């Protein structure tokens, strides 16, 4: 006979493992810790109703917010990377691409769209962070260049909403070349007098900051967005100095004259509409968007 034996059977695990609470209904604000109903957050353009924290938005949500009645035409949706360097890090780049295409339903990290913003035709490029960190490879470069050329041909204002970790390392120097290519297209747009507005959202870093994101006739940023070139630790190690509080956030950059204005997302469409009409020498729109309080 054993010295010890269990007098009672252990409690059986529940057979029904499905939770009665649907997932993703509620979300906790990382800034004020308030629990927000996901639907309310969507209605409020993904801005926390309590503390105005700006949550990250997908390219689709961004376009839906900017275009009149959420209607637009997408261009070049099928361009995709050919993995020119047959690059492999912890896993092959080809597999990473396939996984991102599956999870986002996009072929690469930017969506090009034309439509109307406050009844004015515009070309918008919205970056998709969920696709390999919104990184800029050959496809992103080509699509933004084509978008700028389209804006030039139609003489429509051009808006780029950046949300990117920078150049895509899996495409090496080919990614870096996109910086020059896009800048050249923006130069042509500038010489033709067609307005270009850059909207910087959280995060905008690396080669994107170092090229087209800073070249707008107007550079607007969302509140508290991380904007920078290299990460703070790399800079601290290089200059051997402690960096100030809030370094690389929109507010700090505005103070230093790096960006022109910080615009709350709920006022972004109205601001873009008003500013572009002024730049294009058009009268204010009859039913212009109004900024939410």
31 binds Zn ion (CB under 5 A): yes
Q: Of residues 45, 46, 47, 48, which one binds Zn ion by CB under 5 A?
A: 48
- Closest to Zn ion by CB, 54 vs 107, is 54
29 binds Zn ion (CB under 5 A): yes
- Closest to Zn ion by CB, 41 vs 210, is 41
In the beta sheet, which residues pair with residue 114?
73, 123
Closest CA to 209 of 187, 196, 228, 231: 228
103 binds Zn ion (CB under 5 A): no
96 binds Zn ion (CB under 5 A): no
Question: Residue 67: how many CB atoms within 10 A of its CB?
Answer: 20
Q: Of residues 45, 46, 53, 189, which one binds Zn ion by CB under 5 A?
A: 53
Give the ranges where 106-259 is alpha helix by DSSP (H): 138-154, 172-191, 206-209, 232-239, 250-255
Q: For Zn ion, how many residues bind (rule: CB under 5 A)?
A: 7
Closest CA to 104 of 124, 141, 80, 132: 132
265 binds Zn ion (CB under 5 A): no
**Cβ at position 222, least distance to Zn ion in Å:** 15
- Closest to Zn ion by CB, 48 vs 227, is 48
50 binds Zn ion (CB under 5 A): yes
Closest CA to 220 of 157, 287, 269, 290: 269
Query: Is 289:266 a contact under the CB 8 Å cutoff?
Result: no
Contacts to Zn ion by CB under 5 A: 29, 31-32, 48, 50-51, 53
């Amino acid at each position: 006979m054993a010295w010890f034996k269990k007098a009672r059977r252990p409690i059986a695990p529940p057979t029904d493992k499905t939770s009665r609470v649907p997932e993703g209904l509620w979300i906790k604000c990382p800034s004020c810790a308030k629990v927000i109903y996901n639907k309310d957050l969507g209605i409020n353009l993904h801005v926390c109703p309590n503390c105005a924290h700006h949550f990250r938005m997908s390219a689709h949500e961004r376009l839906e917010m900017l275009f009149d009645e959420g209607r637009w035409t997408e261009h070049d949706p099928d361009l995709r990377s050919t993995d020119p360097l047959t690059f492999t890090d912890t896993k092959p780049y080809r597999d990473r691409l396939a996984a991102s295409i599956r999870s986002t339903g996009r072929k690469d990290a930017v969506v090009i769209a034309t439509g109307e913003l406050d009844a004015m035709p515009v070309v918008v490029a919205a970056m998709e962070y969920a696709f390999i960190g919104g990184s800029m490879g050959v496809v992103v470069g080509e699509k933004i260049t084509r978008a700028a050329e389209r804006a030039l041909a139609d003489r429509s204002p051009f808006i780029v909403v950046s949300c990117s970790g920078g150049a895509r390392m899996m495409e090496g120097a080919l990614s870096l070349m996109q910086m020059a290519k896009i800048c050249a297209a923006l130069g042509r747009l500038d010489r033709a007098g067609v307005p270009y507005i850059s909207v910087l959202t959280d995060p905008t870093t690396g080669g994107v900051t170092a090229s087209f994101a800073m070249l707008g006739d107007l550079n607007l940023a969302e509140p508290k967005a991380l904007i920078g070139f290299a990460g703070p630790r790399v800079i601290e190690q290089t200059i051997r100095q402690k960096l100030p509080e809030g370094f690389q956030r929109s507010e700090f950059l505005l103070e230093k004259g790096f960006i022109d204005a910080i615009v709350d997302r709920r006022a972004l469409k109205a601001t873009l509409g008003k500013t572009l009409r002024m730049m294009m020498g058009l009268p204010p729109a009859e039913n212009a968007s109004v900024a939410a309080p």
